[in-house]
Structure 1
Amino acid sequence: MLHRVNVTVGLNEERMMMTGMHTVADIFCVGCGSIVGWKYEAAHEKSQKYKEGKFILERFKVTGPDGSNYLLSHEVHVGGSDTDDV
């Protein structure tokens, strides 16, 4: 069973990611309409099939319950998203 709260999922599109071609759909905040991440609908490479059905939220686009952005401490290493190099 799929549960989504406070987001809507857009249309599927083919997108070249760092890990290869995927079919993805953007995820939108129902409150403000901003894109907050994406959902992997299909992976074209066998090694990436584990991503299918998974939702990716971009931390810097998500706001905390008090209205502030979620920020990481300086000790935490932040890796790039799958679309950074595309």
Structure 2
Amino acid sequence: MGRLFVVSLEGKIYSCKHCRTHLALSEDIVSKSFHCRHGKAYLFNKVVNVSVGVHEERMMMTGMHTVADIFCVGCGSIVGWRYETAHEKAQKYKEGKSVLERLRSRVLMEATTGSLQKLMLVEVMQMTH
């Protein structure tokens, strides 16, 4: 396996619930009105540090879409899905956007590179003591 490069974000960040890898910025939220089988989900213009799974046809509440699950590159956990194609004209705005499930992500308030490094250092120290 090659070297893993992870993008670090600054601001109000949504991160993987399991490993805290940064996934998206609050300012990139398009809608908070999405739902999944696990509860609330948010539609984002841009997400980072994810890998995209296999494209498949899914019947959603708003019609048929071609989607792909997205996975955290840090730990491999599923974090949501990406809209590849919307078959209905009114849903075309979703194409190329991603949904993060709230159950699988967490908010890091106003994270900066320095504060994140301190947070990670504290967690490592707690694990070793």
Q: Shorter-chain TM-score category?
A: 0.5 to 0.7
User: Are positions 1:57 and 2:100 aligned together?
Assistant: yes
Structure with higher RCO (Cα < 8 A, 6+ apart): 2
User: Are positions 1:30 and 2:30 aligned together?
Assistant: no
Percentage of identical aligned residues: 72
User: Are positions 1:21 and 2:97 aligned together?
Assistant: no
Counting only pairs closer than 5 Å after superposition, residues 35-50 of structure 1 correspond to structure 2 as 35-50=78-93
How far has the Cα of 1:45 moved from its partner? Answer: 0.7
Select the structure of larger CA radius of gyration. Answer: 2
RMSD after superposition? 2.0
1:81 paired residue number:
none
Count matched residues.
65
Unaligned runs of 5+ in 2: 1-45, 109-118, 121-129
Q: Deviation per CA, 1:3-33, whole angstroms, max 9, x where unpaired?
A: 6522101111000100000000100011111
Larger helix share, 1 or 2: 2
- Scaled by the length of structure 2, the TM-score of the pair is 0.46
Q: How many Å separate the matches in 1 of 2:76 and 2:106? A: 13
Larger strand share, 1 or 2: 2
Secondary structure at the residue paired with 2:66?
Answer: strand
Unaligned runs of 5+ in 1: 68-86
